[in-house]
Amino acid sequence: MLINNETIIKDNDPLIRQKSMPVALPLCEEDEHLLRELYQYVVDSTDEEKAEKYNLRPAVGISAIQVGIPKQLTAVVIDDVDKNGNDIRWEFMLANPRIVSSSVQKAYLSGGEGCLSVEAEHEGYVVRSARIKVKAFDLIRGENIVIRARGYLAIVLQHEIDHFSGTLFYDHINPDDPFPKVDNAIEI
């Protein structure tokens, strides 16, 4: 399957709002292949030469529904900084990820969120949990894992998992107050 900016479904397509179904484990060959393609898209999208050559928009994550397949599969690749200030690269190819706990403390991206399936600007804060715990099968590690995510990684995982319920980031923006003051929130 060719995944690029033309084949990623956009928010004007009702399919993007469809609920995604869990996949059987162990992954069948078709689901494993799709997950590897999603992962490769994210990796290649941050390589300027490949992005231009293959018409890729830069991404840190992509879910299967964004290529028209309503399955709970997502790939995330993030260059980040850990709690000690060290560079770290988070890489996941997740099947059936689910949030099992989340913090009361909130966080949001100061510049707002974006999405491969959303081409129009949607300004405003998308307020999410600052820390989450996710359980999933990770194809990279070949096993069920628990991810304790905070900050940017937590926001990206929540964004991707939202796709499974047909929710887009701008659904979280309050149209009457798009830039609210959020007490005790972490601004990223």
Question: In the structure, what pLDDT confidence band is assigned to residue 81 with cuts at 50, 70 and 90?
Answer: confident
> Do the Cβ atoms of 73 and 95 come closer than 8 Å?
yes
Report the pLDDT averaged over residues 158-183.
97
**Per-residue pLDDT for 83 more than 90?**
no
Q: What's the whole-model pTM score?
A: 0.96
The domain containing residue 141 runs over which residues? Answer: 14-187
Would you say residue 65 lies in a domain? yes
pLDDT tens digits for range 24-77: 999 999 999 999 999 999 999 999 999 999 999 999 999 999 999 999 999 999
Q: How many domains does the chain have?
A: 1
CATH of the domain at 165: 3.90.45.10
Would you say residue 7 lies in a domain? no
Give 38-44 contacts, CB < 8 A, sequence gap 24+: 38/3, 38/62, 38/63, 38/64, 38/67, 38/73, 38/74, 38/75, 38/93, 39/75, 39/77, 39/91, 39/93, 39/139, 39/140, 41/3, 41/4, 41/75, 42/75, 42/76, 42/77, 43/77
Question: In the structure, what pLDDT confidence band is assigned to residue 161 with cuts at 50, 70 and 90?
Answer: very high
What is the DSSP-derived secondary structure letter of residue 170? G
Q: What is the pLDDT of residue 82?
A: 81
Q: Which residues pair with 89 in a beta bridge?
A: 79
Report the pLDDT averaged over residues 121-148.
98
Would you say residue 87 lies in a domain? yes
Residues with active-site annotation: 160
Would you say residue 63 lies in a domain? yes
Would you say residue 3 lies in a domain? no
